[in-house]
Amino acid sequence: MSSAEPAADASLTFVGTATTVLRLGRHTLLTDPNFLHRGQRAKLGYGLSSRRTTDPAMTIADLPSLDAVLLSHLHGDHFDDVARRELDRSLPVLTTPSAARTLRGWGFGSSVGLPTWESHTLGDDAERVRVTAVPGRHGPALLHRALPPVMGTIVDLEQHGRRSLRVYITGDTLNVPELREVRDRYPDVDVMVAHLGGTRIGGVLVTMDAVQGADLVELVRPGAVVPVHYDDYGVFRSPLSHFTDEMRRRGMLDARVRLVARGETAPLPARAVPDPTGR
């Protein structure tokens, strides 16, 4: 036996930017809702904006019934004016405490602010999704204080009391020393959803580029990695090809790299982990 059984009906649909639909058993989660279309501008704060260069694979009206929204931080390419206008305001939005306060002011009254390492659960004893906030830093030291607080998330699908899948969503972070504790606390990540793009604002790197992304894969050693957030806006300077080239250079462009095109759905596989009890 393994301590992580294959997850039932677990999949990821890539919508664009960092927006995905996660189907985890009978639960469905939406991540970082960005539904602006090509040519529209996302607000980045301080009067800054960036023009979208792609279209999302679906609209909010196309989404399945949702149980919650996971939001890494409150930037316009992660929660845009379309989401603010059209999303069901009764949905729980699991996000940073700062973003939750703002969202509640916008009428999203079920928003939940998660301090780092705190969890929120959905479901019951038969099947539960546990969402835990983990560290992230949206920029180099000092500059990150001028940017919205950001979190990564560990999403565990637990069925009949046993974990069947663990997903790590990095959020818009650099590969900073704080992420080593994610590896230490969660050494058995099945799938990592990596926010890449090498975003630069004023010439300063504020999201992982190809090298940092590959470094984090080497640190976390997930069973699979799904790259997102890499070519949708003009401020993204490190396209997907940079990441695949870097992974190839390191001899890691193998079955663990799962490339999911916009509109496509891919299964989320749990890898076998030996059960120390021998059961």
Alpha helices in 8-96 (DSSP H): 81-86
pTM: 0.93
Report the candidate in 207, 218, 219, 214 with the shortest Cα–Cα distance to residue 182: 219
Task: Output the tens digit of pLDDT for each of the chain's 279 residues.
Answer: 233 444 558 999 999 999 999 999 999 999 999 999 999 999 988 788 999 999 999 999 999 999 999 999 999 999 999 999 999 999 999 999 999 999 999 999 999 999 999 999 999 999 999 999 999 999 887 665 678 899 999 999 999 999 999 999 999 999 999 999 999 999 999 999 999 999 998 889 999 999 999 999 999 999 999 999 999 999 999 999 999 999 999 999 998 999 999 999 999 988 654 444 433
Alpha helices in the chain (DSSP H): 81-86, 97-105, 179-185, 210-220, 240-249
Beta strand segments in 40-142, E = 41-45, 48-51, 68-70, 93-95, 112-113, 119-123, 127-134
Which domains does the chain carry? 10-259 (3.60.15.10)
- Strand pairing of 41-45 and 48-51? antiparallel
